Structure 1
Amino acid sequence: MRTFAVIFTLSLLVLLPVRTFAIEEGARASRVMLSAWTCSIYAEMKGDKVEQERLFNMGYDKGKQFIEAAVAGTFSPEQLRAEVPIMVRMLMAGPTSEFVLGRVFEFVAGEAHHDVVAEDASGMPLAQENHVTDTKLKAMIAETRYSQANCELIR
């Protein structure tokens, strides 16, 4: 009996960090989703279709992973508040996970596009008449944003 108790205790010590790691990875997936989708918009705006598709798919896959974990009750409310960006938490409503992913993507795409066409290099808003409309200039700014966001590191 004592041997069983020791083995049981040791197995808990081994399995608890695995569960904690899985929870952290699930919550991290929400941040990877946001970063990958932001970078996919930058890649699209700079004309890199292959990279845009890769990043979009990664964001989609990580988003599904996160939503499935959230729906399954993997995260406590405290973990959600600590690990998941508030914008994702605010958009986590809808009839299906696909609907929620669409809401998040639409928001992220709008923000990334706005970063390129309606903000200066320091992130300050441009006056409406100064919004970037030139296609080549948009591509150059998107390339800069892509580099600044370290998008090439998202793998």
Structure 2
Amino acid sequence: MKPLYVLAFLALSSPAFAQTSDDYSKMGMKTYSLWSCAVLTSYTKEAQEGNKLFGLGYETGKTFVEAVKAGKAKQEDLRKYAPMVFGDKLNNPNTDFALGRMFEAVLDGTVKEVWQDASSDEELRKNKAADMYRKQNCSFLK
């Protein structure tokens, strides 16, 4: 009987089973975090980890965008939890287009932060990205 409890917990903790507006709105921040961490791995040469984080961000983001489009996320909760840079990216013809624009915003912001004060030194950018990865607790986003 114990395996059923574990299976039920795993199923209910999946993004696809988020029930409340609050849950859906928080997926926006989770998407941002996952993608930001994926971008950071491109500096630290951890491609496999980056691909995994990007995929998780894509799936979470897809659920987020579809919930927003379906009206499952209240504006109040979106203002409270979802990243502001996603605001105008959600009004697009389809989900994948919205996700592409959202990723572009995350990429732009993360790259600017890495390159700030490190534009001329590749080793410094790598170290800064690794430090940001640790500070953002990226290793826990799996």
TM-score by length of 1: 0.74
Among 25, 29, 37, which residue is 1:31 paired with? 29
Distance in 1 separating the partners of 2:94 and 2:80: 24
In structure 1, the residue matched to 2:6 is: none
Check the 8 A contact 2:18/2:24 in 1, yes or no. Answer: no
Return structure 1 stretches of 4+ with deviation > 6 angstroms.
none
> Is 1:146 matched with 2:138?
no
Check the 8 A contact 2:31/2:60 in 1, yes or no. Answer: yes
Distance in 1 separating the partners of 2:49 and 2:113: 19
| Cα deviation, residue 137, structure 1 | 2.3
In structure 1, the residue matched to 2:61 is: 63
Q: Compared with structure 1, are the counterparts of its residues 41 and 20 closer, same or farther at alpha carbon in structure 2 (3 Å cutoff)?
A: closer
Q: How many residues matched?
A: 126
| Cα deviation, residue 136, structure 1 | 2.4
Distance in 2 separating the partners of 1:82 and 1:112: 21
| Aligned pairs (5 A) from 1:44-55 | 44-55=42-53
Q: Deviations over 1:54-77 (max 9, x none)?
A: 111111111001011111111222
Identity within the alignment, %: 27
Aligned partner of residue 133 in structure 1, secondary structure: coil
| Cα deviation, residue 21, structure 1 | 4.8
Aligned partner of residue 93 in structure 1, secondary structure: coil
In structure 1, the residue matched to 2:97 is: 99
> Is 1:111 matched with 2:109?
yes
Distance in 1 separating the partners of 2:101 and 2:136: 22
User: Over aligned residue pairs, what C-alpha RMSD do you find?
Assistant: 1.8
Distance in 2 separating the partners of 1:80 and 1:149: 21
Q: Which runs of 5+ in 1 are unaligned?
A: 1-18, 119-125
Supply the AA of the counterpart residue of 1:59. Answer: G
TM-score by length of 2: 0.80
Distance in 2 separating the partners of 1:99 and 1:54: 20
Check the 8 A contact 2:38/2:49 in 1, yes or no. Answer: yes
Aligned partner of residue 95 in structure 1, secondary structure: coil
Distance in 2 separating the partners of 1:80 and 1:28: 8
